């Protein structure tokens, strides 16, 4: 038989020696001196001086375009539509033919009036002869005076009847001219309201089509009472009012500037707004009545304003702070007051000068009072230039 207890004792001794050696190795390793670390330099940040520019203060309002007139072309004589001579939605000129009405019934009435007029002229001629014949006879007593009086009365009746006939002839000729319907004004013509064969002008003038002149075109905008009061001096005299720009629904700016032409007489009590009207040239006929757009106007300019990127500003509980680099190369925590935003830029109202170096990248590395390594950069003024290019009367001006 094998002695199992001896084998077990041998295995236990071997494992004990193994763990003892491992413990000694770990102990010796922990006793090694730590490896020295190289000293790190100040953190790298990007800093720039604020932009100093003239910043336009722009006011915008939602507007809707309106034609200077919406002219309804109506049938002025009772007739049926024979031809339609225009293309719906096209541009027409004044006096362009639009509709041709059936002239045959009107021409028949005109012929009847002319025939009746001939009879009236003959009746008047006979009455004139009777008066000329009886006048000397009545004077000499050859015929009674009453015969002359009767002849003169018939003469006046014939003259009145002839005048009535001439008026009927003029009316018939006018009705005949109404059968050719032409454009009273130039503009964009809408959809036809009648079809060929329709009876129009029966009882009342029938609307055939509507024409809207669109060059120039109006933009109506509701401004708040406060905005009106702030600009009342400029609005008082439309001839000296500022120029306006029009921003379309797709973001494009209308290539022509507008002028103020109308300020409403009263403020709407329910909305607290006042209606103003701005007129824009529209030679390309791009603008159509009823479009929604934005009217933009330069109200004033902030001269020499300072601008910094929005990412350089920390906002905590409504307070704004930045880091600036002092002359000794240390970061300094600075409380600032911000104004309006222009794209990715922010206008500084107070707290900075144009000579300060503002940290715009690496804010998380900067600590108040500690050294930083500065990489000088320039602030991109593209957002301001884009605004200036779309503001009437504004131009980029750098303050040295």
User: Which CATH code fits 60-68+213-300?
Assistant: 2.40.30.170
In this structure, the number of other CB atoms found within 10 A of the CB of residue 97 comes to 14
Looking at residue 397, its pLDDT comes to 45
Nearest to 243 by CA among 232, 229, 256, 230: 256
Find out if CATH 2.40.420.20 is the number for domain 45-55+303-389. Answer: yes
Judge whether 393 and 241 are in contact, CB under 8 Å.
no
Give the whole-angstrom CA distance, residue 233 versus residue 241.
9
Judge whether 293 and 65 are in contact, CB under 8 Å.
yes
- The number of residues making up the chain comes to 400
Nearest to 313 by CA among 360, 379, 366: 360
Q: Which fold has domain 74-101+179-212?
A: OB fold (Dihydrolipoamide Acetyltransferase, E2P) (2.40.50)
Calculate the CA 243 to chain-centre distance.
Answer: 14
Judge whether 46 and 362 are in contact, CB under 8 Å.
yes
Give the whole-angstrom CA distance, residue 116 versus residue 113.
5
Helix axis angle, 104-140 to 145-178, nearest 10°? 160
Give the whole-angstrom CA distance, residue 366 versus residue 325.
10
Q: Would you list the domain boundaries of the chain?
A: 45-55+303-389, 60-68+213-300, 74-101+179-212, 103-178
Give the whole-angstrom CA distance, residue 130 versus residue 145.
13
With 0-12 / 13-18 / 19 or more C-beta atoms within 10 angstroms meaning exposed / middle / buried, residue 282 is: buried
Q: Which residues contact residue 201 at a Cβ distance below 8 angstroms, ignoring those fewer than 6 apart?
A: 74, 75, 76, 77, 78, 79
User: Which CATH code fits 103-178?
Assistant: 1.10.287
pLDDT along the chain (400 residues), means of 10: 51 57 55 56 90 86 93 92 93 94 91 89 88 85 85 90 89 90 93 93 89 94 84 68 86 88 89 91 92 88 91 90 92 91 91 92 88 91 82 53
Tell me whether strands 244-247 and 187-189 are parallel, antiparallel or unpaired: unpaired
Looking at residue 396, its pLDDT comes to 47
Give the whole-angstrom CA distance, residue 52 versus residue 384.
11
Helix (H), strand (E), coil (C) string for the chain = CCCHHHHHHHHHHHHHHHHHHHHHHHHHHHCCCCCCCCCCCCCEEEEECCEEEEEEEEEEEEEEEEECCCEEEECCCCEEEEEECCCCCCEECCCCEEEEECCHHHHHHHHHHHHHHHHHHHHHHHHHHHHHHHHHHHHHCCCCHHHHHHHHHHHHHHHHHHHHHHHHHHHHHHHHHHCEEECCCCEEECCCCCCCCCEECCCCCCEEEEEECCCCEEEEEEEEHHHHHHCHHHHHCHHHCCCEEEECCCCCECCCCEEEEEECCCCECCCCEEEEEEEECCCCCCCCCCCEEEEEEEEEEEEEEEEEEHHHCEEECCEEEEEEECCCCEEEEEEEEEEEEECCEEEEEECCCCCCEEEEECHHHCCCCCECEEEECCCCCHHHHHHHHCCCCCCCCECC
Say whether 103-178 and 45-55+303-389 share the same fold: no
Residue 244 in tokens = 């306006």
Give the whole-angstrom CA distance, residue 181 versus residue 86.
11
Residue 134 in tokens = 């009886």
Nearest to 109 by CA among 55, 170, 29: 170
Looking at residue 13, its pLDDT comes to 58
Residue 41 in tokens = 């330099």
Nearest to 187 by CA among 94, 300, 254, 286: 94
Nearest to 179 by CA among 146, 153, 201, 163: 201
Give the whole-angstrom CA distance, residue 335 versus residue 333.
7
Looking at residue 283, its pLDDT comes to 92
């Amino acid at each position: 038989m094998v002695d199992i207890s001896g084998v077990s004792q041998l295995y236990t001794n071997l494992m004990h020696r193994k763990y003892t050696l491992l413990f000694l190795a770990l102990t010796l390793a922990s006793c090694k001196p730590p490896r020295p670390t190289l000293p790190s330099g100040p953190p790298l940040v990007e800093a720039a001086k604020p932009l100093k520019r003239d910043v336009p203060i722009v006011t915008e309002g939602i507007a809707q375009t309106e034609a200077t007139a919406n002219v309804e072309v109506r049938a002025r004589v009772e007739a049926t539509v024979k031809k339609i001579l225009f293309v719906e939605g096209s541009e027409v000129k004044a006096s362009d033919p639009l509709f041709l009405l059936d002239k045959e019934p009107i021409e028949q009435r005109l012929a009847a009036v002319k025939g009746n007029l001939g009879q009236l002229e003959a009746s008047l001629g006979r009455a004139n002869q009777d008066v000329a014949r009886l006048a000397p006879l009545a004077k000499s007593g050859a015929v009674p005076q009453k015969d002359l009086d009767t002849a003169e009365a018939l003469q006046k009746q014939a003259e009145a009847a002839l005048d009535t006939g001439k008026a009927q002839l003029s009316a018939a000729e006018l009705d005949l001219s109404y059968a050719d319907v032409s454009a009273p004004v130039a503009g964009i013509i809408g959809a036809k309201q009648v079809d060929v064969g329709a009876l129009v002008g029966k009882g009342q003038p029938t609307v055939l089509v509507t024409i809207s002149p669109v060059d120039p075109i109006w933009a109506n905008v509701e401004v708040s009472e406060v905005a009106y009061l702030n600009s009342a001096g400029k609005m008082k005299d439309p001839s000296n009012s500022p120029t306006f720009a029009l921003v379309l629904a797709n973001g494009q700016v209308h290539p022509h500037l507008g002028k103020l032409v109308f300020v409403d007489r009263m403020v709407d009590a329910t909305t607290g707004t006042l209606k103003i009207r701005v007129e824009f040239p529209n030679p390309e006929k791009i603008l159509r009545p009823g479009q929604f757009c934005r009217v933009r106007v330069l109200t004033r300019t902030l001269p020499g304003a300072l601008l910094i990127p929005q990412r350089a500003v920390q906002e905590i509980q409504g307070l704004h702070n930045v880091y600036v680099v002092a002359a000794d190369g240390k970061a300094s925590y600075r409380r600032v007051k911000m104004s309006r935003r222009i794209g990715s830029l922010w206008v500084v109202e107070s707290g900075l000068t144009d000579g300060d170096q503002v940290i715009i990248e690496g804010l998380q590395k900067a600590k108040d009072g500690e050294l930083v390594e500065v990489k000088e950069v320039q602030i991109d003024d593209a957002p301001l230039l884009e605004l200036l290019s779309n503001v009437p009367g504004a131009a980029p001006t750098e303050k040295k």
